Amino acid sequence: MLTDEHVLCAYADGSDLHDAAPLLRSRLGALLAGRRWATDQVVLVDQMHAPDPEHPDCLPDWDLGVNIGLDHIRRSAAWFADVEALVECLVALHEESARDFAVFLAFRSRTWLQEHLAFIGGKPVDLPWLRKVIEKLA
Protein backbone atom coordinates (compact mmCIF):
# COMPACT_ATOMS: atom_id res chain seq x y z
CA MET A 1 0.00 0.00 0.00
CA LEU A 2 1.31 3.41 -0.95
CA THR A 3 1.40 6.23 1.55
CA ASP A 4 2.40 9.05 -0.82
CA GLU A 5 -0.13 11.78 -1.56
CA HIS A 6 0.75 11.95 -5.27
CA VAL A 7 0.70 8.69 -7.22
CA LEU A 8 1.52 8.10 -10.86
CA CYS A 9 -0.73 5.31 -12.13
CA ALA A 10 -0.27 3.41 -15.38
CA TYR A 11 -2.97 0.82 -16.10
CA ALA A 12 -3.93 -1.35 -19.02
CA ASP A 13 -6.96 0.08 -20.77
CA GLY A 14 -10.10 -2.01 -20.67
CA SER A 15 -11.75 -4.63 -18.53
CA ASP A 16 -11.31 -7.72 -20.68
CA LEU A 17 -7.69 -8.39 -19.81
CA HIS A 18 -7.81 -12.17 -19.36
CA ASP A 19 -5.76 -12.94 -22.48
CA ALA A 20 -3.12 -10.28 -21.78
CA ALA A 21 -2.97 -10.47 -17.97
CA PRO A 22 -0.24 -13.17 -17.70
CA LEU A 23 2.07 -11.24 -20.03
CA LEU A 24 1.37 -7.91 -18.33
CA ARG A 25 1.92 -9.34 -14.84
CA SER A 26 5.16 -11.00 -15.93
CA ARG A 27 6.68 -7.97 -17.68
CA LEU A 28 5.57 -5.43 -15.11
CA GLY A 29 6.72 -7.68 -12.26
CA ALA A 30 10.12 -8.03 -13.94
CA LEU A 31 10.34 -4.25 -14.34
CA LEU A 32 9.57 -3.69 -10.66
CA ALA A 33 12.00 -6.38 -9.48
CA GLY A 34 14.80 -5.61 -11.92
CA ARG A 35 15.18 -1.89 -11.35
CA ARG A 36 16.61 0.19 -8.56
CA TRP A 37 13.84 2.70 -7.95
CA ALA A 38 14.31 6.23 -6.60
CA THR A 39 11.47 5.50 -4.16
CA ASP A 40 10.17 2.54 -2.18
CA GLN A 41 6.62 3.55 -3.17
CA VAL A 42 6.24 1.30 -6.24
CA VAL A 43 3.64 -1.46 -6.52
CA LEU A 44 2.14 -3.78 -9.08
CA VAL A 45 -1.64 -3.33 -9.13
CA ASP A 46 -3.84 -6.27 -10.14
CA GLN A 47 -7.34 -5.75 -8.83
CA MET A 48 -10.57 -6.89 -10.43
CA HIS A 49 -13.50 -5.01 -8.95
CA ALA A 50 -16.84 -6.54 -8.08
CA PRO A 51 -19.41 -6.54 -10.88
CA ASP A 52 -21.81 -3.60 -10.95
CA PRO A 53 -25.30 -4.99 -10.25
CA GLU A 54 -26.82 -2.05 -12.14
CA HIS A 55 -24.95 -3.12 -15.30
CA PRO A 56 -24.90 -6.93 -15.29
CA ASP A 57 -23.94 -7.10 -18.98
CA CYS A 58 -20.74 -5.11 -18.42
CA LEU A 59 -17.44 -6.64 -17.37
CA PRO A 60 -16.20 -5.51 -13.96
CA ASP A 61 -13.44 -2.91 -13.89
CA TRP A 62 -9.95 -4.36 -13.74
CA ASP A 63 -6.97 -2.27 -12.60
CA LEU A 64 -3.78 -3.89 -13.91
CA GLY A 65 -0.61 -1.86 -13.96
CA VAL A 66 1.84 0.05 -11.79
CA ASN A 67 1.56 2.77 -9.15
CA ILE A 68 4.57 4.95 -8.29
CA GLY A 69 4.48 7.32 -5.34
CA LEU A 70 5.81 10.75 -6.29
CA ASP A 71 6.27 12.59 -3.00
CA HIS A 72 10.05 12.08 -3.28
CA ILE A 73 10.56 14.05 -6.50
CA ARG A 74 11.79 17.18 -4.73
CA ARG A 75 14.48 15.11 -2.98
CA SER A 76 15.67 12.86 -5.81
CA ALA A 77 17.23 14.14 -9.01
CA ALA A 78 16.81 10.71 -10.65
CA TRP A 79 13.05 10.38 -10.11
CA PHE A 80 12.09 10.89 -13.75
CA ALA A 81 14.28 7.99 -14.90
CA ASP A 82 11.71 5.76 -13.16
CA VAL A 83 8.90 7.30 -15.20
CA GLU A 84 10.92 6.92 -18.40
CA ALA A 85 11.59 3.25 -17.63
CA LEU A 86 7.88 2.66 -16.98
CA VAL A 87 6.84 4.39 -20.21
CA GLU A 88 9.45 2.41 -22.17
CA CYS A 89 8.12 -0.83 -20.71
CA LEU A 90 4.52 0.13 -21.50
CA VAL A 91 5.39 1.05 -25.09
CA ALA A 92 6.99 -2.38 -25.54
CA LEU A 93 3.99 -4.06 -23.89
CA HIS A 94 1.64 -2.18 -26.20
CA GLU A 95 3.55 -3.50 -29.21
CA GLU A 96 3.60 -7.05 -27.87
CA SER A 97 0.08 -7.29 -26.46
CA ALA A 98 -1.84 -4.76 -28.59
CA ARG A 99 -3.14 -3.30 -25.30
CA ASP A 100 -3.25 0.42 -24.64
CA PHE A 101 -2.32 2.03 -21.33
CA ALA A 102 -3.58 5.10 -19.50
CA VAL A 103 -1.13 7.12 -17.42
CA PHE A 104 -2.61 9.45 -14.84
CA LEU A 105 -1.90 11.19 -11.57
CA ALA A 106 -4.03 10.26 -8.56
CA PHE A 107 -4.22 11.97 -5.18
CA ARG A 108 -4.46 9.95 -1.98
CA SER A 109 -6.48 12.55 -0.07
CA ARG A 110 -8.82 13.22 -3.01
CA THR A 111 -9.57 9.76 -4.38
CA TRP A 112 -12.20 11.12 -6.77
CA LEU A 113 -9.61 13.33 -8.53
CA GLN A 114 -7.41 12.01 -11.30
CA GLU A 115 -5.43 13.95 -13.91
CA HIS A 116 -4.99 12.10 -17.20
CA LEU A 117 -1.43 12.60 -18.45
CA ALA A 118 -0.77 10.25 -21.35
CA PHE A 119 -2.21 7.43 -23.38
CA ILE A 120 0.15 4.77 -24.64
CA GLY A 121 -1.39 3.39 -27.76
CA GLY A 122 0.98 3.63 -30.68
CA LYS A 123 1.88 7.32 -30.65
CA PRO A 124 5.05 8.67 -29.02
CA VAL A 125 4.84 9.99 -25.48
CA ASP A 126 6.11 13.55 -25.04
CA LEU A 127 8.45 12.88 -22.11
CA PRO A 128 9.62 16.50 -21.54
CA TRP A 129 5.98 17.63 -21.35
CA LEU A 130 5.13 14.72 -19.05
CA ARG A 131 7.95 15.67 -16.69
CA LYS A 132 6.85 19.32 -16.54
CA VAL A 133 3.24 18.40 -15.82
CA ILE A 134 4.15 15.93 -13.08
CA GLU A 135 6.43 18.51 -11.46
CA LYS A 136 3.61 21.07 -11.48
CA LEU A 137 0.95 18.71 -10.12
CA ALA A 138 3.03 16.81 -7.59
Task: Please tell me the predicted confidence (pLDDT) of residue 58.
Answer: 76
- Tell me how far the alpha carbon of residue 10 is from its chain's centroid: 1
pLDDT tens for each residue of 21-39:
999 999 999 999 999 999 9
Task: Please tell me the predicted confidence (pLDDT) of residue 11.
Answer: 97
Q: Say which residues have a Cβ less than 8 Å from residue 70's Cβ, sequence separation at least 6.
A: 4, 6, 7, 8, 39, 41, 79, 105, 134, 138
Q: Answer whether residue 138 shows pLDDT above 90.
A: no
- Tell me how far the alpha carbon of residue 97 is from its chain's centroid: 16
Instruction: Report how far residue 66's alpha carbon sits from residue 43's, in angstroms, rounded to the nearest whole number.
Output: 6
